[in-house]
Every structure is written in structure tokens, then in C-alpha cells.
Amino acid sequence: MTKTIIFFSPQKMFQTSGEIVFEDRAPFDELAVLRQNYDYLISTLDICGIDFHYADEADSRIQEECCPQEPFITFRTEPFIRLTCINTQPMVACFEMAIPVYKDDSIKSLADRLAKETKNKGQNHYGTKK
């Protein structure tokens, strides 16, 4: 049944988009577009990282399901350790915060993650509520 639905889906798209539906390649370099927008995607999706690969590097199931301009997405979690940051200044609202530290993190990525977490908790850089 699933294969039948997959067969009829391009026919429906053919009516709206034309013969480009049956092409096995996109009219532009999809991987280049994704790589150019890496920072935007990371910040917008609120994730720590993205790996981009061509479908022909994946297993056969992914190769069957993937087609131009409809990427196959796989989500995963990375192992991390939790770093607890403690502000010892008296009379400061932002006293303690825990952030994950991943294998290839840099000082900048940790600082960015800490700033983002602080912002998400509704506090400014002085530790007081906005």
C-alpha cells in the first residue's frame, strides 16, 4: 500500500509542477544551500549541530525514500556531561545553571549556550528579570 501511495504522489505533483517532478536531481546544489545556512538552521531549530550527507552515502532504505528537494532527516542525541555554573555574587538572581557540554565544544559554543539558556530563563546579563 505504501509503495502505491508513493507511485501516485508524483503524478499529483506532476499536475502542479510539471516534468521536473521526475528528475533524479534538483536544479540546484541542495547540500551547498544547507551548508551556507548552517548557522541559521542551528539557531532557528535550537539544536547543537547538524551533519549533512548525500543520500548515496546512506543505507538502502534511506536511498529508496529520499528524492530531490525532499531530504531525509534523522535525529540523534549526542552523549554529554552536565556542567553546573554557579554565580557566587551575593544578591544576584541568576545563581545556578546547568548546561550540557558535548565532545567537540569550544569556549565560544559553551558561552553561546550559556547566554541562550540565560535568555530563555528571562534574565539579562546582570542576572535580574527583564
Model pLDDT for residues 63-88, shown as the tens digit of each residue: 777 766 677 777 778 899 999 988 88
Q: Look at residue 129 and tell me whether its pLDDT is greater than 90.
A: no
What pLDDT was estimated at residue 36? 94
Measured from the Cβ of residue 49, the count of other Cβ atoms closer than 10 Å reads 13
C-alpha cell at 97: 545553571
**Residue 68 neighbours by CB distance under 10 Å:** 16
Predicted structure pTM score: 0.53
pLDDT at 24 over 70: no
Burial 1-34 (b: 16+ CB within 10 A, else e): eeeeeeeeeeeeeeeeeeeebeeeeeeeebeeee
